Each structure stands twice: as structure tokens, then as C-alpha cells.
């Protein structure tokens, strides 16, 4: 009788422990900002908050893009134009216009702006954008954002970064959807990006 009771008690203990483990996983998921999770269907991703006028973002972007290709993981870009930069907000709005045509085109525009960043001024940004559009057989509208949709998107991404506590660009995270291990790691040294991705994929 005692043996049966002991087994029942032991089984109840295991179930309670399993419940606590599931509750801990659920709490962990609830605590993580949705921006620091991979896109649906991905286990690992790199999340980037960048400013198109930021020289360090320009230097970091090719490394991040190459990591995405090497590991075949998504790169999630959030525009975070800094207030001291004179044309980065307008460039981000234009990038969102191209995002609306296709994500690939939006990525290509950002790469193009980074490539020509030292030459761009508030006065000639439009001409660079027009040239990019023409090279992709598009005509950029005279008014890119008549209803303010893309401006609102950029502001939403800035607000998202502010809520996370971002103060500088680029800010990189390697994020994971796995229930065990760390949900995300900030990459403070871009030379460590590949090692951090390796560690996140193994956890």
C-alpha cells in the first residue's frame, strides 16, 4: 500500500516539476520583447538596428549580410535614424518605400546608400535614390510618402529601439526561438558575430 502511495506521490511530483518547467519557459517567452525573437519558422536570426548615415553601420552591414548567407538565417533590419544625422531619416523612409516593393529591393537600396554614404548630403539624397530606382527599372514617385505610412513605420521602429534601450547604432543581436538557453545575445564586438551565432545554434 505504501509502495503504491509512494509511486503516486512520485508521479505527482514529476508532473508538478514538469508544470513548473513549462511555466518557466512560458514566463521566459513572455519576458522577451517580440523584436528580439526570430521571424516565424526560424530558430536563429540576427536583428540589427541601424542608421543609414552611420559610418559604423556602413562597415558592419557587409559582415552581417555575409553571416546571414553563410548560416542561411534571417537578417531582420530595423531603421534607427539618430537625431544628429541630417539625412538618415529621409533615407530610412525611402528604404521603406522600396521595402514595400519587395524586401530584396529594400535591402539592395540600403546597401546602395551605404556604398555611397560618404558622397550623400541632404541636397543630393533624392538624386541618389532616383538613380537607384532607375537602375532597377522603377520611377520613384515625386512624393514618396504622401500618406505618411513609411514615416510612421520608421517612427515605430525608432520607438521599438527606444523601448529596448538602444542609444547607438549599429546595435546587433543574435536571437533564438529555442526554449532552452539564452533568448538573445547582444553583439558588442562584430568580430565575434560568427562565434555567437555558433553558440546560439548549439544551445
For the chain, give every domain's residue range.
1-31, 38-202
Grid cell 568580430 — which residue?
Answer: 191
pTM (2 d.p.): 0.82
> Cα separation of 150 and 176, whole Å?
28
At 181, the pLDDT band (50, 70, 90 cuts) reads confident
Span 38-202 CATH architecture: 3-Layer(aba) Sandwich (3.40)
Give CA 140 to chain center in angstroms.
Answer: 26
Across-strand partners of 75?
46
What is the tens place of the pLDDT at every residue in 29-57? 447 788 999 999 999 999 999 999 999 99
Amino acid at each position: 500500500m505504501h509502495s503504491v502511495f509512494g509511486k503516486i506521490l512520485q508521479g505527482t511530483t514529476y508532473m508538478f516539476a514538469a508544470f513548473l518547467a513549462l511555466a518557466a519557459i512560458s514566463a521566459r517567452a513572455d519576458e522577451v520583447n517580440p523584436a528580439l525573437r526570430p521571424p516565424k519558422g526560424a530558430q536563429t536570426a540576427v536583428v540589427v538596428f541601424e542608421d543609414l548615415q552611420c559610418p559604423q553601420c556602413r562597415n558592419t552591414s557587409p559582415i552581417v549580410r555575409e553571416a546571414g548567407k553563410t548560416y542561411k538565417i534571417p537578417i531582420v533590419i530595423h531603421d534607427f535614424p539618430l537625431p544628429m544625422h541630417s539625412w538618415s531619416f529621409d533615407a530610412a523612409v525611402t528604404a521603406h518605400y522600396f521595402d514595400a516593393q519587395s524586401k530584396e529591393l529594400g535591402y539592395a537600396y540600403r546597401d546602395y546608400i551605404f556604398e555611397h554614404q560618404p558622397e550623400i548630403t541632404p541636397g543630393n539624397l533624392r538624386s541618389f535614390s532616383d538613380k537607384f530606382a532607375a537602375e532597377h527599372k522603377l520611377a520613384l514617385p515625386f512624393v514618396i510618402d504622401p500618406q505618411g505610412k513609411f514615416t510612421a513605420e520608421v517612427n515605430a521602429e525608432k520607438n521599438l529601439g527606444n523601448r529596448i534601450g538602444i542609444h547607438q547604432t549599429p546595435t546587433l543581436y543574435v536571437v533564438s526561438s529555442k526554449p532552452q538557453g539564452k533568448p538573445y545575445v547582444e553583439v558588442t564586438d562584430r568580430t565575434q558575430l560568427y562565434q555567437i551565432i555558433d553558440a546560439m545554434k548549439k544551445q
